[in-house]
């Protein structure tokens, strides 16, 4: 997603502006997106929520599946519109992000200077004429700080799931556009293990406020069928477009062919 991340700086970005846009073309190649546990309830109405193993951090990361193939987001149309009621916060934060300062316990706001949303002629200024951050930057800081807090709580949630062996590999075969696809490499909560929790451990889950996220995740899994249907529609639309194009080409050839005299 990010190509040229640099810290937001009043000297470097004195004349930079951010264009408000509903163009999500930059995310058209993302088939997964990280979500915090606080997003599960809203995301579950559209996307399947699964967990990916983060071996480097010895943890799991929750993501929404937005496509069945790497490099294909089934929720973005040809014009860059997001065709779903909920857009993951990780996508909405673009072109900004928080980056940890090396060897320090603090984060700085960074911006992707390669983004088409940045301009020196259009949009809302990042800094005023005195070099002070505008409301744009203040809103970004507040939003990213909230995401950072939610991310920390989500890490505690996934640590709990891993510690209590609640996650199990998902192995699923689906028929998508006459192709059998294997959905592997991700994990889901094992409902049977959850149901076998002791009363005290289940009370801990409830007191930690993990239950809404757990049930939202379980409810979201049938949304894989939505991805299958979207993939079928995409393939059928492409086939119809190819057929229409072929017919148009043939018709043009017939019109331009000179009749042979006998």
Digit-coded pLDDT (tens) for 137-150 = 999 999 999 999 99
User: Does the structure show a pLDDT above 90 at 22?
Assistant: no
For residue 109, the cross-strand partners are 98
User: Is the pLDDT confidence value at 153 over 90?
Assistant: yes
Mean pLDDT of 165-185: 83
Give the rounded percent of residues in the chain with a pLDDT score beyond 90.
72
The region, left, alpha or beta by phi > 0 then psi within -120 to 50, assigned to residue 103 is left
Q: How far apart are CA 218 and CA 239, in angstroms?
A: 34
pTM of the model: 0.85
What's the pLDDT band for 249 if we cut at 50, 70, 90?
low
pLDDT of residue 174: 82
pLDDT of 184: 83
Determine the average pLDDT of the residues in 80-101. Answer: 93
| Residue 90 buriedness (CB in 10 A; 0-12 / 13-18 / 19+) | buried
Q: Where are the domains of the chain?
A: 5-256
pLDDT at 102: 85
């Amino acid at each position: 997603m990010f190509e040229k991340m640099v810290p937001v700086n009043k000297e470097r970005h004195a004349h930079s502006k951010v264009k408000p846009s509903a163009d999500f073309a930059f995310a058209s190649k993302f088939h997964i997106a990280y979500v915090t546990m606080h997003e599960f309830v809203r995301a579950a109405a559209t996307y399947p929520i699964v967990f990916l193993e983060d071996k480097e951090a010895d943890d799991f990361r929750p993501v929404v599946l937005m496509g069945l193939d790497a490099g294909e987001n089934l929720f973005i149309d040809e014009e860059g519109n997001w065709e779903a009621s909920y857009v993951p916060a990780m996508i909405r934060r673009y072109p900004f992000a928080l980056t940890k300062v090396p060897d320090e316990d603090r984060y700085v706001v960074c911006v992707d200077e390669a983004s088409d949303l940045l301009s020196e002629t259009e949009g809302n200024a990042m800094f005023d004429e005195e070099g002070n951050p505008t409301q744009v930057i203040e809103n970004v800081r507040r939003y990213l700080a909230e995401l950072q807090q939610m991310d920390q709580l989500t890490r505690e949630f996934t640590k709990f799931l891993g510690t209590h062996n609640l996650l199990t590999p998902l192995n699923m075969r689906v028929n998508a556009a006459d192709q059998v696809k294997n959905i592997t490499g991700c994990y889901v909560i094992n409902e049977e293990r959850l149901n076998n929790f002791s009363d005290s451990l289940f009370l801990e889950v409830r007191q930690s406020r993990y239950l809404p996220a757990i049930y939202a995740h379980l409810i979201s899994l049938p949304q894989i069928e939505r991805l299958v249907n979207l993939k079928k529609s995409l393939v059928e639309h492409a086939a119809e477009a190819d057929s229409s194009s072929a017919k148009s080409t043939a018709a043009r050839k017939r019109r331009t062919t000179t009749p042979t005299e006998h």
